Amino acid sequence: MTLSKLQSHAERLSGESLSTLSAGRTDAKSFAAGWMVSTARQFLDDETEAGLAELAEEKQIEQAISDLFSLVKVNPSEGRPATHWALRAPANTSDEVEAVRSTLDPALEFAEAVRSGGRFTHVLHLGIGGSDFGPRLIYDALKDTNPTALKIEFAANVDPLDLDRALSVLDAKTTLVIGVSKSFSSEETMYNLNRARDWVKASVGSDWPEHFALVTASPDKAQKWLGRESDQLFDMPLSVGGRFSLWSTASLACMIAFGRETFQSFLDGAHEMDEHVRTSDLKDNLALKLALVDYWNMTVRGIHSNIVLAYANALRMLPTYLQQLELESNGKSVGPDGKPAPTRTISGLWGGEGTIGQHSYHQWLHQGSADIAAEFIIALHAGAEPDGNRALVSHALAQAEVLSNGLSESEITAEEPGLDPVIVNQKVMPGGKPSILLVCKDFSAQRLGSLIALYEHRTFLAGRLWGINSFDQWGVERGKVQAGKINKALLEGASVADPVTTNFIEYLSE
C-alpha cells in the first residue's frame, strides 16, 4: 500500500463528518490486559483500514514482532537486541531471557532488606532521562495506594536548585541515595551524586558508602567512585535502552518504596500485554492498531501534534514519560541504512492532566487552527469517591465528544435563541479532531505495567512502519558533546566557533 494510495483515502474521507464516521465504527474497540481502547473517532472506514493492514503486511510487522521476542538484533546501529520485555518474563523462560530477567533478583532482595531493616526512612533517587522519568512515573502513580511506601525524593537536573530542594526535606543519616547511570558518566547524574556524597559525608563520615546504592552497566567506574568494594552495586543490562529501563534495576527506588509484591504486579501487567502483542493476530493486535493510527494521522494526514490527556491524577507524569519514549525513539528522519526515511515520521507529542488542561490549552484544541489528534486516558481506582470519579469520566467523555462533533451555528441558536450573531460565530467549534480513548476501571500496579508496555510496543511498531530504528538516539548524544565544549569555554573564558554562543559566554563571564 503506497503512501499515495493512503493519501487518496485521506482525501476521500476529509469531506466526511467525523461524527458520522464514528457512529458507524462503534465496534472499533479492543480489550487487552485490563484496558479497553477505542479508535472509533478516527477518519477511517473499512476500506482505509484494509489499506493500513496491507501496509503492515508490506512492512513485515509480524516478522518485526517475532524478531523482538526472539532476541534478534532489532537495534542494528548498536548491534543489539532490545531486551526490556525479558525483564518482565516469567523466570526460566530460556537461558537468554533468564540472563536478563535475573538481574532483577539481587535488587529485589536488597529492596526487601532495606524495607525491613529500619535504617532508612527516605530514598533519594538520582538519574536523568530514562533513569528518571520511568521511576518517577511509577512512584507518582502508585504512592497513594501503597500506604507503607518509603518516601522518595528525585533530582535529575544539573541546575543546583533541583538537588537543593530534594535535600532540604531529607536527613542524611536516614537517607539512602540511589544513583542510576548506565555509563556512570552522565553529567547531570554525576554532578548530583558528587554533591550528595559531600552532603552524606558531612553527617556520617567514613561510613558514607553504606548510604549509596548504584545502578550501572559500568561497575568498575562505580566502584572507583565509592573508593571501596560494595555489595550495593546493581547491574543494568546494556541491551535495555534507557527509556525502556523502568522495568530494570533502574527502578530500585520503587522496589524499595513499594516492595517486591507490588513491583512484581507491575511486571506481570507488562508481561500480560507482551503476550497479547506476541500472540494476537495482526487484526486484533492493539499495539499495531495504535501504531497504524499514528502512521495514518502523522504521515498520511499530516497532523501537527498528538496530545495525551491523562484523566487520572495518578498518571499526571505519563505525558512527560511518553515524550521521551516516543519522541526519542521515533524522532528521526533517517533509517538504519543511513538513507532518509521514506515518509514523514512522528509528529510532536505533549499533554497534561485532565481536568486541569481544560482551563488552559483545551481552548486551543477546540477552536485553534492547528491540526491535532488526541488520546484520552481514563484510569479509575476501584472504591474511589464516586462523585469525583463520575465527574472525571463525564469531563473526559465530553471533551472527546466535542473535539469530534464540534458545535454548529444551528445548535448554538437552538440552545440560545436570540443570541447576537457575532457571539454565535465566536462559539462555533469546528470539531473533526480525532481521538483515541483508553479506559481502565480498576487501576493498579498491574494495569500501569500493561499500559506502559502497550505504549512501548506501539512505539516500536510505529518505528517499523516509518522505516527507522527506535532504539538509538544520536540527536541526544550530539547535544552532550557540544555542551561539554561550551562548559570548558565558560570555565576558561574562551570563545567557541558559533558567534552567538560566544556573545553569551562573554556576557556570563563578566
Residue 298's pLDDT band (boundaries 50, 70, 90)?
very high
Query: What pLDDT does residue 345 have?
Result: 96
C-alpha cell at 326: 516516543
∠ CA 315-320-325, rounded to 5°? 105
211, 204 Cβ separation under 8 angstroms: yes
∠ CA 401-403-404, rounded to 5°? 65
Mean pLDDT of 338-348: 95
Query: What pLDDT does residue 25 have?
Result: 94
Residue 148's pLDDT band (boundaries 50, 70, 90)?
confident
Q: CA distances (Å), 58 to each of 19, 324, 462, in order? A: 31, 28, 13
Q: Which CATH number fits domain 103-258: 3.40.50.10490, 3.40.630.10, 3.40.190.10, 3.50.50.60?
A: 3.40.50.10490
Q: pLDDT digit string (tens) for 353-388?
A: 999 999 999 999 999 999 999 999 999 998 899 999
Query: What pLDDT does residue 280 have?
Result: 97
Catalytic residue of the set 224, 480, 485, 488: 480
Catalytic residue of the set 188, 272, 326, 328: 328
Q: Would 3-74+269-466 and 103-258 be classified into the same CATH topology?
A: yes
**CATH dotted code for 3-74+269-466:** 3.40.50.10490
Q: What is the pTM of this model?
A: 0.96
Considering only residues 122 and 474, tell me which one the structure prediction assigns the higher pLDDT. Answer: 122
Query: What pLDDT does residue 490 have?
Result: 86
The 3-state secondary structure of 216-279 reads ECCHHHHHHHHCCCCCCEEECCCCCCHHHHHHCHHHHHHHHHHCHHHHHHHHHHHHHHHHHHHH
Considering only residues 193 and 498, tell me which one the structure prediction assigns the higher pLDDT. Answer: 193
Residue 480 appears among annotated catalytic residues: yes
First to last CA, the chain: 60
Q: pLDDT digit string (tens) for 429-444?
A: 999 999 999 999 999 9
Q: pLDDT digit string (tens) for 226-282?
A: 999 999 999 999 999 999 999 999 999 999 999 999 999 999 999 999 999 999 999
Residue 359 appears among annotated catalytic residues: yes
One-character DSSP codes across 322-378: HIIIIIIHH--SB-TTSSBPSS--PPEEEEEETTGGGGTTHHHHHHSSS-EEEEEEE
**pLDDT over threshold 90, residue 503:** no
Mean pLDDT of 10-29: 93
Give the span between the Cα atoms of 226 and 432, in whole angstroms: 58
Give the span between the Cα atoms of 398 and 389, in whole angstroms: 14
Mean pLDDT of 135-151: 91
Domain ranges of the chain: 3-74+269-466, 103-258, 475-509
Catalytic residue of the set 229, 339, 359, 510: 359
